């Protein structure tokens, strides 16, 4: 199936652990390139995230972001450093004895003292597991979106291939008339200079002109390449690079046809071919 490299996917989890949300944006690129944005507490997942994405996708420039808002289960609790509180109270009493001051420490004063409140160590294992499971779901959504977009691109390319084949048929139909007209013009000119031209040189010039006007080979190659494009579109594998190569070959044949043309109609058809090839090439840049 045809897979586009341009797509977007977003998945979200809401539960006791809190809120987790993944967003993946994908655009075309020669290789697979990832830019990750993760919460600090989940940054340890980065190697695993890259491994999972590498296993599922082949090409594309990815912007991957994870957002996390802890819930009641995942929130870190606070505890009081009792040892430090006792030390502070004892120190306050000693100071009071030395200075005859009666002012005592308040709880607010103690809470503001560095180290009195300690954050309990979080067990983020369930959050990490949920984040990775949600990542797989997000990748599934991204792949589905890429395939849907790929189907649309494939249809566009098939339509352009059909239009190109019509142009090839049109040139084939034009060539007998073009050749007859060319022969008539040559015959008229030869009748004027035949007595002055060497017969051997005349034969050489006619051979050169015949070769220059012969476009059957270009037409055959264009049709062969177009058949190959349609075959590749039906392949169940990444096809972007193969299609890009075929566009280069099609463009080469269209350029050769233009250079050989001695007819305005043939030139116009060749230009239309190049326009269609360029339209296909632009779409193929998005195919994996």
Question: How do residues 225-277 score in pLDDT, each as one tens digit?
Answer: 999 999 999 998 889 999 999 999 999 999 988 887 777 888 899 999 999 99
Domains: count for the chain: 3
- Tokens describing residue 68: 């996390």
pLDDT for 74? 47
Q: Are residues 265 and 212 in the same domain?
A: yes
Q: Which helix (H) or strand (E) holds 25?
A: strand 18-27
Model pLDDT for residues 95-139, shown as the tens digit of each residue: 666 666 556 666 666 556 576 555 556 678 899 999 999 999 999
pLDDT for 251? 94
Q: Answer yes or no: is 2 within a domain.
A: no
Q: Are residues 243 and 177 in the same domain?
A: yes
Answer yes or no: pTM beyond 0.75.
no
Q: Are residues 195 and 232 in the same domain?
A: yes
Q: Are residues 183 and 99 in the same domain?
A: no
- Tokens describing residue 139: 């990748």
List, in sequence order, every residue forming a beta bridge with 13; answer none if it has no partner. Answer: 20
46-56 and 125-193 are packed helices; what angle lies between their axes, rounded to 10 degrees?
40
Q: Are residues 139 and 201 in the same domain?
A: no
Domain containing residue 45: CATH number: 3.30.230.10
Of 240 and 94, which is predicted with more confidence?
240
Task: Check pLDDT > 70 for residue 183.
Answer: no
Q: Answer yes or no: is 102 within a domain.
A: yes
Q: Are residues 142 and 12 in the same domain?
A: yes
Domain containing residue 225: CATH number: 1.20.140
DSSP 8-state code for residue 4? B
Kindly state the average pLDDT of the residues 30-52. 94
SS3 label, residue 1: coil
List, in sequence order, every residue forming a beta bridge with 287; answer none if it has no partner. Answer: 4
Q: Are residues 49 and 82 in the same domain?
A: no
Q: Are residues 70 and 82 in the same domain?
A: no
Q: Are residues 82 and 161 in the same domain?
A: no
Distance CA 284, CA 149 (A): 12
DSSP 8-state code for residue 222? H
Q: Answer yes or no: is 96 within a domain.
A: yes
DSSP 8-state code for residue 114? T
Range of the domain at 99: 78-119
SS3 label, residue 14: strand
Task: Check pLDDT > 80 for residue 155.
Answer: yes
pLDDT for 114? 72
């Amino acid at each position: 199936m045809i897979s586009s490299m341009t797509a977007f996917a977003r998945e979200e989890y809401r539960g006791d652990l809190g809120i987790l949300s993944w967003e993946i944006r994908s655009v075309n690129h020669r290789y697979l390139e990832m830019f990750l944005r993760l919460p600090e507490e989940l940054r340890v997942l980065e190697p695993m995230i890259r491994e999972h994405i590498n296993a599922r996708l082949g090409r594309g420039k990815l912007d991957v972001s994870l957002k996390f808002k802890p819930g009641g289960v995942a929130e870190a609790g606070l505890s009081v450093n009792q040892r430090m509180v006792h030390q502070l109270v004892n120190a306050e009493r000693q100071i009071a004895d030395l200075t005859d001051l009666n002012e005592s420490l308040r709880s607010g004063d103690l809470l503001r003292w560095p180290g009195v409140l300690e954050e309990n160590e979080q067990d983020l294992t369930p959050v990490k597991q949920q984040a990775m499971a949600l990542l797989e779901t997000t990748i599934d959504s991204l792949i589905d979106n890429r395939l849907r977009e790929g189907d649309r691109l494939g249809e566009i390319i098939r339509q352009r291939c059909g239009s190109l084949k019509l142009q090839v048929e049109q040139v084939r139909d034009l060539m007998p008339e073009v050749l007859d007209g060319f022969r008539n013009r040559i015959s008229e000119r030869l009748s004027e200079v035949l007595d002055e031209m060497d017969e051997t040189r005349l034969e050489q010039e006619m051979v050169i002109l015949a070769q220059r006007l012969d476009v059957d080979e270009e037409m055959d190659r264009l049709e062969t390449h177009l058949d190959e494009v349609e075959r590749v579109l039906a392949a169940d594998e990444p096809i972007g690079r193969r299609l890009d190569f075929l566009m280069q070959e099609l463009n080469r044949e269209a350029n050769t046809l233009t250079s050989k043309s001695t007819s305005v109609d043939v030139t116009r058809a060749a230009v239309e071919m190049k326009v269609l090839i360029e339209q296909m090439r632009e779409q193929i840049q998005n195919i994996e």
